[in-house]
Each structure stands twice: as structure tokens, then as C-alpha cells.
């Protein structure tokens, strides 16, 4: 083969967004807000650019931002990370995930992932010669059978990748899940990569249980988060990785050659903006309004709503409407009904089809209304 990933195509998010654009459909496929970020944040960026902060940031990130990140983590999860030596600012969650895998996964190392899984985990593991072991979470509730997970563990297991809250299912991990995980990793040198980019989007008063709340897990974990999801700025590509110094030191060896450092004026702006906790503590409520609006609008249709405990994605089962597989159904929905979604099978290696699609509700009221109008006619 010409390249190391010659069997991989374009991501489903790019595919569905392109199909949406070609068909002038309402794009509820790729997960990004269609509304403006807070103008205060935009003003901060503008002011730092104009003040002349336009050159390289320090490799691991600007100290002011790392301090604010440490403060946020401590306030939210009562966990302490040293800003300078344990937090690295990255070019978005995906780059942090890529770098974490590149740093630690060697040829023939095994990595456990939970499907439906965000699309970058598996190809990245394989790029570095790792072998993916999967546990398939399924409808209706995407529960994890920890005994089955335990059976996937071997002396070759290098890493377990968690995504909590889970994109695309909207499932969050419960206390029992984390206790089971603790039992599995106890006495091993297994690392945990915890993708928590939707940590501030959890509904119905439920609590996001970060990996860093549990000292037995924190000591072996790389915690990854994203400002794109937190402040409606997915196009700014900025996030971070928090991990104990011993892991961060290794992570940065790769990070320095991957991106070296990330956007200076945006880091400075985020540091200022994060001084006000209200800028993210209200996020749950903000997105719960959108989730509830979408769910109420769909309640009278033939779609079945699956639970949505977190993230800005709603999963829908459509088997009362069509017996097509989810990919064909999603294409038809885009072309004929002008609403673009993402088929769940694209989150499973074996393309498991349970007739489920994902809708993104990080959209203006007006966009959601138009989408509901179209979906109600089906
Ligand atoms: N995270 C977003 C989603 O799940 C989009 C990611 C992407 O386009 N690569 O839809």
C-alpha cells in the first residue's frame, strides 16, 4: 500500500457535511454550533492580536491559560494538576488524542476502545502499530459489561480509551463504571486516555464523573478536553491534555515536534475569559434547553428517542420508518427531507447497524425549528 492508512476514507463528518451542502439540507450531522461565540471572547482575541501577541507561545502553553485550566479542573473535580508541568495546551482535542496515542502506543501494544467510538481513535492506534480490542455498547442503553471488558485485557494491554460523555450515544459513565474500571487497572501499568470534551454538557442535574476524581485512575490517565465544545469555537482548534508530570513529560516530547505550540492570542484570550466561571457553568442548562426542544419536537414523530444524558447529540432509532441500513437512511434523509445526520454504524468497526442516527442540536432555535418541520413530515 502507498500509505499507512490507505484503507481509510474521508471522515463521516466531512462526508455528511458535504452531502448536506450539495443538497442544501439543514446540517445536523457534523457536531459544531451554527451560532456565534460570546462577543466578549472575540474582543479579547482581537485585542491581543492588536497588542502584538502574534508569535510563538511557549511549547506547553501560556502559563496564564494553564493556571485557569488547573483552577477549572480543581473547582469541577477537586483534582490538582500543576499548571506548568502537568497541563499542555493542544490544537484541539483530536491533536491531543493523536499525540497521546503517538507517545505511548508501540507496535503490537493492545488498546481497548468502546464502540460506538469517535472516529479517530482506531486509525491513530493502528498508525503506530497498535492493535485495537473493542467492546461494543449497544441499544437501548449502551451499557458496559465490565466482565467482557476484563476479558479483553491481556499483558499486552497498553491503554484504555474512554469517551465520557460518549459521542455519539450521549451516555455518561456512572460511579459503578468507574469502580469497575479501577478494579480492572489495579496492579497493572495500563494507561487511560480519557476524552472528556463534552464534560460540561451533561443534563438533568446528573454529574460528570471525570477520571481525575479517582486518584487510582488519575495517576495513569491523560485527560483531554476541548475549548471548541466549551465556548462554541470548534474552528479555533484549541484544547488541552492534563496528566501527571511523568506522562506529560513524554507527551510533550511528541507535542513539540507535532505542533510545537498553539495559537498565542487565543490562549491569552481564553485565559482572560475563563476568569469568570459563569462562562462555562451555565453550559449544561443552555444545551439542555436545546436538547429538550428537539426531543419535544420529535416526540410526536415515528422516530424513537434514545436517552441523551450528555453531549450535544441526540440518537434516534428509525426502524418504524424504514428498513434501510443507517447509512442509506441518513443519505435519503439528507437528499429527500433536507436534514443531514450521522449514521451510527460509522462509529463501529464492523459497521453494526441498529437503525440509529445522530442529530447535533448545537444549533440556533431557528435551525432546530426548520429541521423539526422537515422531520415531522416523515
Ligand atoms: N466532533 C464533531 C462530531 O463528532 C466533529 C468532528 C470532525 O468533524 N472531525 O461531529
Q: Is the CB of 239 under 6 A from ligand 1?
A: no
pTM, rounded to two decimals:
0.97
Of 118, 159, 120, the residue nearest 137 (C-alpha):
118
- Provide the ipTM: 0.94
Q: Report which protein residue has its CA nearest ligand 1's atom 4.
A: 31
Contacts 24+ apart (CB under 8 A), 65-69: 65/89, 65/267, 65/268, 65/270, 65/271, 65/274, 66/240, 67/271, 68/270, 68/271, 68/274, 68/275, 69/225, 69/240, 69/242, 69/274
> In this structure, how many other beta carbons lie within 10 angstroms of the beta carbon of residue 254?
16
329's CB contacts (< 8 A; 6+ apart) are: 318, 321, 322, 343, 355, 357
The answer, yes or no, to whether any atom of ligand 1 lies below 6 A from the CB of 18, is no
Instruction: Report whether residue 29 contacts ligand 1, using a CB cutoff of 6 Å.
Output: no
**pLDDT computed for residue 125 by the predictor:** 98
| Cell numbers at 153, concatenated | 485485557
Q: Is the CB of 167 under 6 A from ligand 1?
A: yes
Helix/strand/coil (H, E, C) string of the chain?
Answer: CCCCCCCCCCCHHHHHHHHHHHCCCEECCCCCCCCCCCHHHHHHHHHHHHCCCCCCCCCCCCHHHHHHHHHHHHHHHCCCCCHHHHEEEECHHHHHHHHHHHHHCCCCCEEEEEECCCCCHHHHHHHCCCEEEEEECCCCCCCCCHHHHHHHCCCCEEEEEEECCCCCCCCCCCHHHHHHHHHHHCCCCCEEEEECCCCCCECCCCCCCCHHHCHHHHCCEEEEEEHHHHCCCHHHCCEEEECCHHHHHHHHHHHHHHCCCCCHHHHHHHHHHCCCCHHHHCHHHHHHHHHHHHHHHHCCCCCEECCCCECCEEEEECCCCCCCCHHHHHHHHHHHHCEECEEHHHHCCCCCCCCEEEEECCCCHHHHHHHHHHHHCC
Ligand 1 centre to CA of 13 (Å) is 6
Distance 118 CA to ligand 1 centre (A): 8
Residue-level pLDDT, tens digit, the chain, 378 residues: 899 999 898 999 999 999 999 999 999 999 999 999 999 999 999 999 999 999 999 999 999 999 999 999 999 999 999 999 999 999 999 999 999 999 999 999 999 999 999 999 999 999 999 999 999 999 999 999 999 999 999 999 999 999 999 999 999 999 999 999 999 999 999 999 999 999 999 999 999 999 999 999 999 999 999 999 999 999 999 999 999 999 999 999 999 999 999 999 999 999 999 999 999 999 999 999 999 999 999 999 999 999 999 999 999 999 999 999 999 999 999 999 999 999 999 999 999 999 999 999 999 999 999 999 999 999
Instruction: Say how far apart CA 167 and CA 266 lie, in whole Å.
Output: 26
The rounded distance, in Å, linking the Cα atoms of 253 and 365 is 44
Q: Residue with the nearest Cα to atom 8 of ligand 1?
A: 13
What pLDDT is attached to residue 7?
Answer: 87
Where does residue 360 fall: left (phi above 0), alpha (psi -120 to 50 degrees), or beta otherwise? beta
Measured by CA distance, the residue closest to atom 2 of ligand 1 is 31
Pairing mode, strands 342-343 and 304-305 = unpaired
Domains of the chain (ranges; CATH) run 12-30+282-376 (3.90.1150.10), 39-276 (3.40.640.10)
- The response to whether residue 17 sits with its C-beta less than 6 Å from ligand 1 reads no
Amino acid at each position: 500500500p502507498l500509505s499507512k492508512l490507505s484503507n481509510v476514507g474521508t471522515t463521516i463528518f466531512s462526508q455528511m457535511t458535504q452531502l448536506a451542502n450539495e443538497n442544501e439540507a439543514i446540517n445536523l450531522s457534523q457536531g459544531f454550533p451554527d451560532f456565534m461565540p460570546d462577543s466578549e471572547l472575540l474582543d479579547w482575541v482581537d485585542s491581543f492580536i492588536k497588542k502584538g501577541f502574534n508569535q510563538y507561545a511557549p511549547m506547553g502553553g501560556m502559563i496564564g491559560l494553564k493556571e485557569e485550566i488547573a483552577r477549572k479542573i480543581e473547582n469541577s473535580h477537586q483534582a490538582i494538576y500543576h499548571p506548568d508541568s502537568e497541563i499542555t495546551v493542544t490544537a484541539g482535542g483530536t491533536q491531543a488524542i493523536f499525540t497521546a496515542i503517538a507517545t505511548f502506543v508501540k507496535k503490537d501494544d493492545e488498546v481497548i476502545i468502546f464502540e460506538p467510538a469517535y472516529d479517530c481513535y482506531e486509525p491513530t492506534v493502528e498508525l503506530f502499530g497498535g492493535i485495537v480490542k473493542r467492546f461494543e455498547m449497544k441499544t437501548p442503553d449502551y451499557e458496559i459489561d465490565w466482565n467482557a471488558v476484563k476479558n479483553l485485557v491481556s499483558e499486552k494491554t497498553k491503554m484504555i480509551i474512554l469517551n465520557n460523555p460518549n459521542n455519539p450515544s450521549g451516555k455518561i459513565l456512572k460511579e459503578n463504571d468507574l469502580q469497575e474500571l479501577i478494579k480492572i487497572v489495579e496492579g497493572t501499568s495500563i494507561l487511560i486516555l480519557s476524552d472528556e470534551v463534552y464534560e460540561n454538557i451533561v443534563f438533568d442535574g446528573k454529574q460528570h464523573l471525570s477520571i481525575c476524581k479517582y486518584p487510582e485512575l488519575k495517576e495513569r490517565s491523560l485527560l483531554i478536553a476541548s475549548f471548541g465544545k466549551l465556548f462554541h469555537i470548534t474552528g479555533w482548534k484549541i484544547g488541552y491534555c492534563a496528566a501527571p508530570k511523568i506522562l506529560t513529560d513524554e507527551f510533550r516530547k511528541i507535542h513539540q515536534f507535532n505542533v510545537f505550540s498553539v495559537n498565542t492570542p487565543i490562549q491569552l484570550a481564553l485565559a482572560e475569559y475563563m476568569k469568570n466561571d459563569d462562562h462555562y457553568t451555565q453550559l449544561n442548562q443552555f444545551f439542555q434547553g436545546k436538547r429538550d426542544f428537539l426531543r419535544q419536537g420529535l416526540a410526536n414523530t415515528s422516530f424513537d428517542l434514545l436517552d441523551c444524558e450528555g453531549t450535544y447529540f441526540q440518537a434516534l432509532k428509525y426502524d418504524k420508518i424504514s428498513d434501510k441500513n443507517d447509512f442509506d437512511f441518513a443519505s435519503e434523509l439528507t437528499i429527500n427531507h433536507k436534514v443531514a445526520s450521522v449514521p451510527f454504524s460509522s462509529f463501529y468497526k464492523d459497521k453494526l447497524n441498529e437503525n440509529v442516527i445522530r442529530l447535533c442540536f448545537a444549533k440556533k432555535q431557528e435551525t432546530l425549528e426548520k429541521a423539526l418541520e422537515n422531520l415531522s413530515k416523515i
